[in-house]
Amino acid sequence: MPLIYISLGSNGGDPVNAILSAIKKIVAENDDCSFEAGSFYKTEPQGKTDQPWFVNTAIAIEVGITPEEALAMAKRIEREQGRVPGERWGAREIDIDIIFYDDIIMNTEKLTIPHKQADKRRFVLQPICDISPDVVHPTLEKSVKELLDSLPKDGQETRRIVS
């Protein structure tokens, strides 16, 4: 079965519970799956900085769905949890992004894998590194740990809050 790395974040309402709820829904929809979660981090907002800090984590899930099915599931769960279209980089109840799907490289109108900004975001790389520091970014051919170590710390602060 494919191994999918999914990033989850929230800065609205109760972010930790929003993320836990999303993870439970992902797992419940894929009853024949195995998954592992990274730590939870309080993270500095990117792009639009005048908003509450986010809580972020990532999961690695082995599940028998296609990339398109994974995207449809993520978008449906976001809607179910109250996410509405809004300002780019703005506050959100839940954000679910597919970062890696095995070593697939794809770029369609609706889905880009690997996620096009993953290598530049500490809040994405840090929780994935907790799970699989040696997973390799398929286009950059560097491990998540190498990418994380190359990022500047300024403007991308992360604080572990839950292991």
pLDDT for residue 56? 97
Catalytic residue among 79, 97, 130, 159: 97
pLDDT for residue 88? 64
95 is known as an active-site residue: yes
Question: Where along the chain do its domains lie?
Answer: 3-162
Q: Is the pTM of this model over 0.85?
A: yes
More confident residue, 156 or 31: 156
Q: Which fold has domain 3-162?
A: Alpha-Beta Plaits (3.30.70)
pLDDT tens, 96-143?
Answer: 999 999 999 999 999 999 999 999 999 999 999 999 999 999 999 999
Q: Answer whether the bond into residue 138 is a cis peptide, omega within 30°.
A: no
Catalytic residue among 14, 31, 83, 159: 83
92 is known as an active-site residue: yes
pLDDT band at 163 (very low <50, low <70, confident <90, very high): low
Catalytic residue among 76, 92, 130, 160: 92
pLDDT for residue 128? 98
Are 120 and 24 in contact by the 8 Å Cβ rule? The answer is no
- Count of CA atoms in the C-beta half-sphere (13 A) of 88: 1
83 is known as an active-site residue: yes
Tell me which of 30-34, 57-61, 108-112, 124-128 is least confident: 30-34
Catalytic residue among 31, 79, 95, 122: 95
pLDDT for residue 79? 92
97 is known as an active-site residue: yes
pLDDT band at 22 (very low <50, low <70, confident <90, very high): very high
Residue 10 has pLDDT above 80, yes or no: yes
Structure tokens at 3: 């191994």
**What is the radius of gyration, based on Cα positions, of the chain?**
15
| Residue 101, strand partner residues | 4
